[in-house]
Amino acid sequence: MIIIIIQYKWRPPRGLKENKVFNLQPKLLISLLLTLCFGVLSVTAHSADDAVKASTIPATDTAQDLVIYSARNEQLIKPLFDAYQAETGVRIKFVTGKEGPLMERLKAEGAKTRADLLITVDAGNLWQAAQNGLLAKVDAKVLNDNIPEHLRDPGGQWYGLSVRARTIVYNPTKVKPGELSTYEALGDAKWKGRLCLRSSKKVYNQSLVAMLIARHGEAQTEQLVKSWVANLATDVFSDDENLLDAMAAGQCDVGIVNSYYFGREKRKHPDAPLAIFWPNQNDHGVHVNISGAGVTKYAKQRDAAVKFLEWLSSEKAQNLFADANLEFPVNPRVKPDALVASWGEFKHDTINVSEAGRLQAKAVMLMDRAGYK
């Protein structure tokens, strides 16, 4: 008999967080040794946005199993997966994590990947996935009928599934809605020391600036961003929640956030002194972005992945997908959640959201030059 003693410290890959599954207690260590010898264990993951939580799954999938990599939170997507399985019998296995590590994983796995579908937030991320050769072209009439042209890839490699507006929010005890008009006007002198912004490091602001470049060109957009920076009331915030809390506390009077963050805050604190405003209604409209998905290049269950995408764009599934995060349905025939609808209708920018990805690198460099941290 050979006795093997192993002392091992697992460290998670960059972007993923350690989970207690990897604490090598005696029983688990024995299982791991058996696994190494006989190959009976396969590991996948599903967890929250910024972590991957490992669990065991059978090493072989059935022919109908659909495997999804998702940058959306488990609590937002699992109800959809459960509903689809109940309706069709198709089992869905999924991995969640940050979009960057997930795309790197897809790239590293190549043709051996088990992923059939990639779900992520922001058109900039979807554009990057397509540019990196991770997605396959899909030409499906159902998707083209259900999803407006400007909310899907012109090349058919990804499709929007829900819409979020990156819009203006203000403190109504300090600002009257008549004082507000456009994103560009937030650079006016009257907002000096009154504006709050989220960090330029987040893709949401990179996409907003990219779309402004598409509208105005680099030179004009750079002057606009500089005017925003000059009007900041405080340092930029790491996330929209902290920005909204600061505004409600009186630290600033006006800011730019994703609409669903506003909805979450009002749902938790209905009396918070916060109100939403739809800018640029007399010209190009509100900047909108998407969460969306694309079939992976090496999908083993391509047809099943396309059918699931079509189902996600259907009227039946759209409310489930959008309402869970207080977003707008991408399918124009579907009404939004009552709270979202209470914010009123608005005109939104119809430049194809793929521009957010195509111009993202220019946007990042521009914000750096403008001193937007």
The CATH number of whichever domain residue 231 belongs to comes to 3.40.190.10
The answer to whether residue 31 is domain-embedded is no
Cβ contact 117:102 at 8 Å = no
Continuous H helices in 110-196: 123-131, 141-146
Domain carrying residue 149: 43-162+292-336
The verdict on 154 and 174 lying in the same domain is no
The verdict on 92 and 214 lying in the same domain is no
Give the containing element (helix H, strand E) for 292. strand 288-295
The verdict on 275 and 138 lying in the same domain is no
Q: Which two tokens stand for residue 34?
A: 């058996």
| 60 or 33, higher pLDDT | 60
The percent of residues above 90 in pLDDT, for the chain, comes to 81
pLDDT bracket for residue 62 (50, 70, 90): low
Lowest model confidence (mean pLDDT) among 28-42, 151-165, 185-199, 318-332: 28-42
Q: Which two tokens stand for residue 338?
A: 């009552």
Q: Residue 106: which of 298, 307, 315 has the closest Cα?
A: 298
The verdict on 249 and 363 lying in the same domain is yes
The verdict on 147 and 179 lying in the same domain is no
The verdict on 178 and 281 lying in the same domain is yes
- Name the domain count of the chain: 2
The verdict on 177 and 260 lying in the same domain is yes
pLDDT bracket for residue 211 (50, 70, 90): very high
| 306 or 23, higher pLDDT | 306
> What gap in Å lies between CA 127 and CA 353, rounded to an integer?
9
The verdict on 245 and 147 lying in the same domain is no
Listed in sequence order, the residues at least 6 apart from 153 whose beta carbon sits closer than 8 Å to its beta carbon are: 126, 127, 130, 159, 294, 354
The verdict on 168 and 278 lying in the same domain is yes
Q: Residue 117: which of 102, 98, 139 has the closest Cα?
A: 102
307-347: pLDDT as tens digits:
999 999 999 899 888 888 999 999 999 999 999 999 999 99
227-242: pLDDT as tens digits:
999 999 999 999 999 9
The verdict on 47 and 71 lying in the same domain is yes
The verdict on 223 and 142 lying in the same domain is no
> What gap in Å lies between CA 251 and CA 263, rounded to an integer?
20
pLDDT bracket for residue 3 (50, 70, 90): very low
Give the containing element (helix H, strand E) for 250. none
The answer to whether residue 9 is domain-embedded is no
> What gap in Å lies between CA 116 and CA 253, rounded to an integer?
45
The answer to whether residue 16 is domain-embedded is no
The verdict on 361 and 265 lying in the same domain is yes
| 42 or 137, higher pLDDT | 137
pLDDT bracket for residue 34 (50, 70, 90): very low
Q: In the prediction, which pLDDT does 186 show?
A: 98
Mean pLDDT rounded to a whole number for the chain: 87
